[in-house]
Structure 1
């Protein structure tokens, strides 16, 4: 095992407060009250689709979805770097990965226009061996394309990578890419999620639990 790849929202960093802030700004525009953080948080890993679903009850099949998504992304553009923080133990984990002469990177479905500034805000953009966003390939997760691109950027075989994420699509993509997969159950899992049924090789309750899976 040579490289650890992380999902971004809900795995590497706690970005739910800013994702929720943008959603509540949008709800206010449409005359709706704010939703509590604990209502929004379980949907934060599902991107604009999940957030518009909980915020407005719409999905990609609705005629208004595309315009609402653009409105949401415009509002998120204003707030997305206000309060991102690493999950407790993640800074120590990344340092230990590097101390063991292993590499790490990020594979997210987040658009690149947000991913790179966010990684810079976290002070990680120059440390990562690969940073791949959802629009860097034609097909984002659950397809394996972005994970395969990340392993190529890191200069390692996919079979030498662990992919860690907090959504079922992360496991599906990681397995399709030929990587070992772990579920970050400290992330944005909802009441209906059943990570034990996703087929990952393991689950971790804290970032530092990952060390048991590293050489």
Structure 2
């Protein structure tokens, strides 16, 4: 997979790449918003409560996109099904809710893209596996104005199931093939491709060292916010 600097024309891995972009949908954690600082803070507070030393931020960051269960396994070597797992996970979520947006911010530079979309105007939204309570708190705290927000509770399914993305497209009254979905995890791209949307990898997000986005089948991998903005700008101007 080429980066923007290496290609002159948008790649055509998916047939949808030839369609115009009429709406942009974002994953939340690690794509639109850098939430890792607050999630790392919550996990390390929980470790301290249990008499453990703090973990390095970068080690926690790599697991943020995998959710609370992965963070509990990382922090305590406790897996789903273990007796201590439910109480640890709930305490983690409680600590996170207390400071859901203390350090979390929209990735620097993405504000410009959101401003362009809202000025054009072009609808944009969020499709996330993050529970509704934390998503709504974060969106409100950061003063974001998406036209649609889809969380797991809305349909009872999560990505990589394409249903949440298709639901968002219906809410916006935009054909899926004219939607762009931006994410930082293989399940994001899998959901987008199966929804027949155009897909873009936020390569600056929470991608683990052992993951290879080039194998995910996206239309483009943006290694920086600048590349992401440039690729979308070119598509909107074409």
Partners of 1:21 and 1:198 lie apart in 2 by 30
Of the structure 1 ranges 143-152 and 11-20, higher mean CA displacement relative to structure 2 is found in 143-152
> Partners in 1 of 2:59 and 2:50 — Cα distance?
19
**Segments ≥4 residues shifted beyond 6 Å:** none
Correspondence for 2:206 among 188, 208, 211: 188
- Counterpart in 1 of 2:150? 132
Segments of 5+ residues of structure 1 without an aligned counterpart are none
The Cα shift of 1:17 comes to 0.4
- TM-score, length-scaled by structure 1: 0.93
Question: Which has the higher Rg, Structure 1 or Structure 2?
Answer: 2
Which of 12, 22, 30 is equivalent to 2:50? Answer: 30
Q: Is the 8 A contact 1:109 1:135 kept in 2?
A: no
Count of aligned pairs between the two proteins: 213
- Where 1:11 maps in the other structure, the secondary structure is coil
Task: State the alpha-carbon separation in 2 of the partners of residues 119 and 73 from structure 1.
Answer: 17
CA deviation profile, 1:39-69 (whole Å, cap 9, x unmatched): 1111111110221122122332434323322
**TM-score normalised per structure 2:** 0.85
Higher mean C-alpha displacement, 62-71 vs 90-99: 62-71
Aligned pairs for 1:55-94 (under 5 A) are 55-94=75-114
* Worse overlay, 45-54 or 21-30: 45-54
* CA RMSD in angstroms, aligned pairs only: 1.4
Are the equivalent residues in 2 in contact too, given 1:108–1:132 (CA < 8 A)? yes
Residue 236 of structure 2 corresponds to: 214
CA shift, 1:156, in A, is: 1.1
Residue in 1 that maps onto 2:9: none
Higher relative contact order, chain-length normalized (CA < 8 Å, sep 6+): 2
Separation in structure 2 between the aligned mates of residue 68 and residue 176 of structure 1, nearest angstrom:
34
Deviation at 1:136, TM superposition (A): 1.7
Residue in 1 that maps onto 2:142:
122
Number of the residue aligned with 1:205: 223
Moved more, 187-196 or 52-61: 52-61
Question: 1:14-34: CA deviations, max 9, x gaps?
Answer: 111000001011111221111
Which of 152, 156, 159 is 2:170 aligned to? 152
- Where do 1:88-103 residues align within 5 Å? 88-103=108-123
Alignment equivalent of 1:51, drawn from 66, 71, 95: 71
Q: Secondary structure at the residue paired with 2:124? A: strand
